Structure 1
Amino acid sequence: MANTAVADADSGLTRAQLAARHGLSVAGARPTLAAYVKQVWFYRHFITTYANAKAVSAFSQARLGQMWQVLTPLTNAAVYYLIFGVIIGTSRNVPNFIAYLCVGVFVFNFAQLVILGGTSAITGNLGLIRALHFPRASLPIAVTLTQLRNLLYAMAVLVVIVLATGEPITLQWLLVVPAMVLMTIFNAGLAMALARLGAKLTDMKQIMPFVMRTWMYGSGVLYSVKAFEQNLPAVLAHLVNVNPLLIYIELVRHALLENTVLTSPAPRLWLLAVVWAVVMGVGGFIYFWRGEQEYGRG
């Protein structure tokens, strides 16, 4: 091999040509997109195991343990109901406001926790990144799976609330599954995009809670966004109506609640839900992949 390399060098080949001839590649080089997808799939067992471990450890120091996965959104819903439903009176003209509010809080909480966790997925795991070789997209995907696991527990409680407030069980409830699948894809893509941004801009972790609070107020979590149409210019009101989190919340409400007034016709909501999932899921993955060789350096 040494003699061959010397002969090649003497023949005037560049280093890149030498490396290609002998099957060498740059350490830490970004793989092709297709190869990266295969790597992520190969590490799927690592991702699910890591996600389960994070879910279990998150409340390991709390006396009530994983019950807080359900108690936290329930407590938030109770506080919001007291302030917005009773004191401010946003419950007026909203059928079954308790179930309406709980659906909004539970679904938005899923997105919020994925987004906040995704923002620090790289910066919060630098030790793991520098110690082991694996596709870094595993980390924001694991964040998404962790919160999806928590959501499944919360949805069981949400079903009890919906039934207790008088809603009947219908075949339309099955639409919750595709709605949440699309939202999970959207959340994962956004988590990956924010993971790359968070790795570059360390202040993102401090900014995102304020962003999420503003996003919540524009997503119809606490009240019907019909109020925006009366108080905002037409352009801004239209932007609110295409808000992806509002769309996914509306679809779950439409599936579980009989008399929910939607901001847009259901077919349009489904079309927007698919578009957002594809654009953010694919776009976020590609954006994250393009920075693969940067994570954990410096």
Structure 2
Amino acid sequence: MSQALDTPPPTPAPPGDDLAALAARHGLTVSGARPTLSEYVRQLWARRHFIGAFSTAKLTSQYSQAKLGQVWQVMTPLLNAAVYYFIFGILLGTKKGVPDYIPFLVTGVFIWTFTQSSILAGTRAISGNLGLVRALHFPRAALPISFCLQQLQQLLFSMCALVVILLCFGVPVSLSWLLAVPALVLQFTFNAGVAMVVARMGAKTPDIAQLMPFLLRTWMYVSGVMWSIDKLTEKDHLPHIVTLALETNPAAVYIDLMRYALIDSFHASQLPPHVWPAATAWALIAGVGGFIYFWKSEETYGRG
């Protein structure tokens, strides 16, 4: 009885400000809170080895069940190019007036596939990896970036086949091939930015993944993958706004840069005006804007 009487009454909970001070004094932070942008970049850089290993593992396992294995990394875009050549080059006659049409077409298909696959993978980067997102603490931007890096690695495999095609059709090796490096860097930055945008959208609305193939197919048809934008716009029969939209289309800009770098019959006069500033601007807008847009919802991924 006396022990019960001597028990002090429970201490009332301190007000909110005192709780925050108590947590700060003991080094406690809100679970899953979004870090500052600079801290987020630092955390992402610290996980760069994970990003590289994750993308390589995904690429290795992609065709692990197929008998031809990694050969499909090259065969898939080549078969797409063959289908497009038959339909557009032969049946619709888009190869008329386009020198080195097969290298022209294959380059367009490979470069477009890089963008298309990066964006498609981005839509499921969060929603398709919820187990990983909920189990481990890491900057979620690592996922869409690693998927884009996976597609870049696959493109580099395909580029080996592209070089063989170029040489077989008499396209000489030249110093301009070195321009492919900055063009790919800019395209990767653009792809990663767009992938982060659709990753955030896909995390909240998974149905985006079902809609995206239709949007990308439409985008492909207006990007000059199978036909020459230069040949279409030189006739001056299109409204200026349509011509401007076709020439500044980011997918078309990166495709044209790669064609200019690799195909000697594709001249600078066929490039849209200010092509390198346009390519850089698209990369910065998509890369920086997409990264910030994704970061702003960092604490919501994997919730609900």
TM-score, normalised to structure 1, is 0.93
Count of residue pairs brought into register by the alignment = 293
Deviates more, 1:232-241 or 1:94-103: 232-241
Residues 197, 204 of structure 1: 8 Å contact kept: yes
The residue aligned with 1:150 is 154
What amino acid sits opposite 2:95 in the alignment?
S
User: Residues of 2 paired with 1:38 and 1:12: CA distance?
Assistant: 31
The residue aligned with 1:106 is 110
User: Residues of 1 paired with 2:227 and 2:76: CA distance?
Assistant: 20
What amino acid sits opposite 2:208 in the alignment?
M
1:60 is aligned, of 55, 61, 64, to 64
Write out per-residue CA displacement over residues 244-272 of structure 1, whole angstroms, 9 at most, x where no aligned residue. 11000000000111122567647711111
Residues 73, 158 of structure 2: 8 Å contact kept: yes
Write out per-residue CA displacement over residues 16-51 of structure 1, whole angstroms, 9 at most, x where no aligned residue. 344334432211100001110111111111111111
User: Residues of 1 paired with 2:224 and 2:120: CA distance?
Assistant: 20
Residues 114, 144 of structure 1: 8 Å contact kept: yes
2:188 is aligned, of 168, 184, 191, to 184
Write out per-residue CA displacement over residues 166-223 of structure 1, whole angstroms, 9 at most, x where no aligned residue. 1111111110111001101111111111100111111100000001101101110000
User: Residues of 2 paired with 1:7 and 1:254: CA distance?
Assistant: 75
Matches within 5 A, 1:214-293: 214-226=218-230, 228-229=232-233, 232-260=238-266, 265=271, 268-293=274-299
* 1:93 equivalenced with 2:81 (yes/no): no
The residue aligned with 1:79 is 83
Give the alignment's Cα RMSD to 1 decimal.
2.0
Larger Rg over CA atoms: 2
User: Residues of 2 paired with 1:31 and 1:198: CA distance?
Assistant: 22
Deviates more, 1:181-190 or 1:220-229: 220-229
Identity %: 54
State the Cα distance separating 1:228 from its structure 2 match.
4.7
TM-score, normalised to structure 2, is 0.91
Residues 179, 248 of structure 1: 8 Å contact kept: yes
Deviating above 6 A after TM superposition, structure 1's stretches of 4 or more consecutive aligned residues are 6-12
Matches within 5 A, 1:162-201: 162-201=166-205
Instruction: Return 5+ residue gaps in structure 1 as ranges.
Output: 1-5
1:70 is aligned, of 49, 69, 74, to 74
User: Residues of 2 paired with 1:131 and 1:233: CA distance?
Assistant: 53
Q: Secondary structure of the residue that 1:27 maps to in structure 2? A: coil
User: Residues of 1 paired with 2:269 and 2:57: CA distance?
Assistant: 39
